[in-house]
Amino acid sequence: MLKPFAVRAGHDDHDYRAVGVGDLRLGAIDGSLTRMPDTPANRQAYGSADTSDDSAPYPQLRDLLISGASTRATLGVVTGPCGGDSRPKPSRSCRIGRCTSACLFTPDRLWVMDRNFPRRGADQGNLGTGTHVLIRVKSDVPLNRTGAFLPDGSYPAQLSGGGVTLTVRVIEYLVAVAGQHTPELFCLVTDLLDHAAHPAGQPAASAAFI
């Protein structure tokens, strides 16, 4: 595991804040896989993403990377076995504050996450640190609208899962590319509830880092 105190100190000294949302520094949290040497011991210990038997090409580690958007530097990482019936895995809901350091999950940061993270609900543990999240949501994740549309087109809603219900702001927008007949609808949820301080266009532009 990296030492987040040292990494953050280096970033603070050089003030790497070229990419942000308002006064928030932008970061990203995403999963990755690392191939391990193909030995019987590694197959037993780590498994793989597709199968835990000998037909897998390589045993693998599952990594959860925490990076800064301005420099693409890795600020922290959590690793664990990738497959198998009883092997513990790094949580896809990103409960990583306990594994790295509170110095990363601070109120001046906004963490962008891909659409697989809210599958079992938002991460109440990370939000409890005062940090902020911006998560792309799949079409099969229910969002219960709790109020009227705001001036920027976003709206308040509740996101539930894993026994947790959180209040979020929903930002929806269409993206069209050349030759595409029907624009694709993107949906984001964030705990940044103040539309005046963080109008919908700011978080939507940050979604390019997902």
Q: What is the pLDDT of residue 51?
A: 58
* Whole-number average pLDDT of the chain: 77
Q: 208: helix, coil or strand?
A: helix
Quote the radius of gyration of the chain (alpha carbons, Å): 19
- pLDDT interval class at 194 (50, 70, 90): very high
In this model, does residue 52 exceed pLDDT 70?
no
Global pTM?
0.74
Q: What is the pLDDT of residue 37?
A: 92
Q: How many domains are there within the chain?
A: 1
Q: What is the pLDDT of residue 86?
A: 40
Range of the domain at 16: 4-209
Q: What is the pLDDT of residue 96?
A: 46
Cβ(139)–Cβ(156) below 8 Å: no
Place of tokens 């947790």: 164
**Tell me: the pLDDT tens digits for 67-100?**
888 777 888 888 888 875 444 454 444 444 444 4
**Whole-number Å distance between alpha carbons of 16 and 18:** 6
Q: What is the pLDDT of residue 123?
A: 54
